[in-house]
Structure 1
Amino acid sequence: MKRILAITLTSTLPFPAFAAGFERPIPQPQTEVAEFWFLIGSIALIIALAAVQILVSRR
């Protein structure tokens, strides 16, 4: 009984190897709204870094 189970398992295990290959996802282009908010976030980060620099330099 164990041999039959072993033969069955070893003969059915390789079947997942025939799965479809990996297809890389194609990135979508950014919209103008996303670029606008990225610009706002970048400017806010620069202002925050400048504020931290001013606060640190006063000590």
Structure 2
Amino acid sequence: AASKDGATKRLTDVKGYTGAHKERFDADSGKGKGKEGREDVAKNEGYVSGYKNADTYDEAKK
């Protein structure tokens, strides 16, 4: 069961949060989003980070 005391309400009030911290809690319910709110999941595929045309080599060769 979630705590409803004043400290919990202040700590989960996202209006005062900035940057990535404000993404950790749902703005409507105040509930935590879990790992999705804390981590940027990057695709570690290929040999160049940020390459936008992945899987297009075979299409261009046709």
Q: Which interval holds the TM-score relative to the shorter structure? A: under 0.3
Q: TM-score, normalised by structure 2?
A: 0.26
Which structure would you say has the larger RCO, counting Cα contacts within 8 Å and 6 or more residues apart? 2
Larger radius of gyration: 1
Q: TM-score, normalised by structure 1?
A: 0.27
